[in-house]
Structure 1
Amino acid sequence: MSAQETMAKPALKVVPILPSLDFAQTRDFYVGNLGFEEVEFACDDYLVIHRGGLELQFWLSDDPFQCQNSSVFFRSEAVRDIYRDLCDRGIEAVVPRDTHGEPTRFHVRDPHGNLLMFGGSPLRAAAH
């Protein structure tokens, strides 16, 4: 194998860690409204939830500013379906003003202000 060839790269999984002001409220929103499930975790100041292959973790904070300045971006080819599902669940999903018709991107804020952004794959520049 030459230096230019690469060995098989291990798969990496990124897990966002967001602040929470109150785990009960965070749990109610993500489990009760967004369809996540709580992962049993033996720690009083940490919360882990998952939905399908997605995992989110939360740490306990007493500073609302941290929540209001934290975000995670969810990329999916099914953005419109996710948008309709959240709206059907009564979740307020905000669509950018420049979006016409069904959204290709939108965002939701959790009870503490964490920003959850949803969008499709980025546009690729044309090859030159």
Structure 2
Amino acid sequence: MATPYVDWLVRVLLEAADGERAALHAARLPTAVTIPVTVVRHQCPHCRRTWAKQPSAASHVARCWYNPAVRSCKTCEYHEPGEAAGGCWGDPYCNCPEIPEGCAIGAATPMVTDCPLWQPLHDLIGDRS
């Protein structure tokens, strides 16, 4: 048989434990202050794509279509860029070319790298997006 004192003591201890739990929970809630995060990305200097890992970016730069050292069609004087269609079957998000990319002298179909007939494009633009 419990005495009134024991009942009172149990009630007070349970209320104190509930208060402590509520205080701990409130301390874990997010605050309105944001935490700045620095993110490092590695960007290709020719086409401006980015990667999280440096080896992946370096691998891409070595084969990037816009890198003149690769001697690809995109940086060649003879490159004929394709013309975008108005959309396939009325789809405005379709990227199918109406006129595909080509080579003015027929040296490359499809596009290639290390072309023996490659000539540097005189108006190369470094800022491609």
Q: Same fold (TM over 0.5)?
A: no
Higher helix share: 2
TM-score w.r.t. structure 2 length? Answer: 0.20
TM-score w.r.t. structure 1 length? Answer: 0.20
- Larger RCO of the pair (alpha carbons < 8 Å, separation 6+): 1
Q: Which has the larger radius of gyration?
A: 2
